[in-house]
């Protein structure tokens, strides 16, 4: 296998293309527009209509379980008041998804190709050569 699972994790944490390792997940003219395919290696990044669901689920999970629920628990146990809890939940619900948007795409591609590394074009090419 050309691209190992370790390399897939490294590329995912750095928000890089899991196939070629270049920072090509997002268009150069926008911080939030995802490239349909990697300009370097043609890996499909935005793979179909539901492609955003993976990053969305990661973003939602981190926001809910990392920010909102802990704040609610702190409020429910009396450690913080409503004057702190409400703005913290509101700010967390708005800011965390924005801050995690790019990272969640890298994490999603990392998770997807960690479990299906043979689907990477670089690894498929090696397999096709092995079949001959």
- Rounded Cα distance between 61 and 68, Å, is 10
- Rounded Cα distance between 68 and 100, Å, is 15
**Under 8 Å CB-to-CB from 59, ≥6 apart: which residues?**
96, 97, 100, 101, 104
What residues from 64 to 123 belong to the interface with Zn ion (CB under 5 A)?
none
Give least dist CB 92 to Zn ion, A.
Answer: 33
Of the candidate residues 38, 67, 96, 109, the single one contacting Zn ion (CB under 5 A) = 38
Site for Zn ion contains 20 (CB under 5 A): yes
How many residues form the binding site for Zn ion (CB under 5 A)? 7
Site for Zn ion contains 41 (CB under 5 A): yes
Site for Zn ion contains 17 (CB under 5 A): yes
Site for Zn ion contains 8 (CB under 5 A): no
Query: For residues 24 and 16, is the Cβ–Cβ distance under 8 A?
Result: yes
């Amino acid at each position: 296998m050309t691209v190992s699972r370790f390399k897939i994790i490294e590329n995912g944490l750095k928000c890089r293309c899991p196939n070629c390792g270049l920072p090509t997940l997002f268009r150069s003219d926008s911080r939030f527009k995802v490239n349909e395919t990697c300009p370097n290696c043609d890996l499909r990044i935005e793979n179909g209509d539901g492609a955003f669901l993976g990053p969305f689920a990661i973003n939602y999970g981190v926001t809910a379980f990392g920010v909102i629920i802990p704040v609610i628990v702190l409020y429910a146990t009396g450690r913080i008041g409503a004057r702190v809890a409400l703005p913290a939940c509101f700010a967390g619900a708005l800011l965390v998804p924005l801050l995690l948007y790019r990272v969640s795409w890298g994490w999603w591609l990392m998770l997807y190709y960690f479990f299906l590394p043979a689907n990477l074009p670089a690894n498929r090419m090696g397999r096709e050569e092995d079949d001959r």
